[in-house]
Amino acid sequence: MIGSKNHTMSASQPELDGRSTASRGLMAEILSLIGSSGRYLQAILALAGEESREALALYTRLLVMLAAAFFFAALGYILLVIAVVFLAAQIFGISWLVIFSALTIIHGLAAILCAKHVRDYSRSPLFTITRREITRDLEALQKNAPHHE
């Protein structure tokens, strides 16, 4: 029989998760929501912490490999320049010190040009659009602010 006591659910019978369906009150529901939110936030922060540790390890390895690549590239370049100096000295019959000095001067001039280029570009302001927008916002706030006299 469908309408019997055995087939109807009363408000005091527990649900599948063990909680009662009876009204617990507003304060209990708020505390439950805060507790659930806290556990969720704790789980998210734990996951973010784990991922940040993994990312730190990955980027540390990449940085070490990049530093090694720059070191070996610089070493290879220096050895190449030395080989070119001695080869040119052998071919042209000029002292290797003269050729080495000329290459040193050329590299010094290239470094000066690069430094000048960096200095010129570092003087140009960054975030000009954002700075302009913030300035406009501040001017509008000052214009619309009530005057206290």
Span 99-128, pLDDT tens digits: 999 999 999 999 999 999 988 887 767 677
Confidence of residue 142 (pLDDT cuts 50, 70, 90): confident
User: In whole angstroms, what is the distance from residue 54 CA to residue 48 CA?
Assistant: 10
User: In whole angstroms, what is the distance from residue 103 CA to residue 87 CA?
Assistant: 13
pLDDT for position 131:
82
pLDDT for position 112:
96
Span 41-92, pLDDT tens digits: 898 888 888 888 888 999 999 999 999 999 999 999 999 999 999 999 999 9
pLDDT for position 22:
54
> Can you tell me which residue has the tokens 């973010």?
48
pLDDT for position 10:
47
pLDDT for position 12:
47
Higher-confidence position of 77 and 11: 77
pTM of the model: 0.49
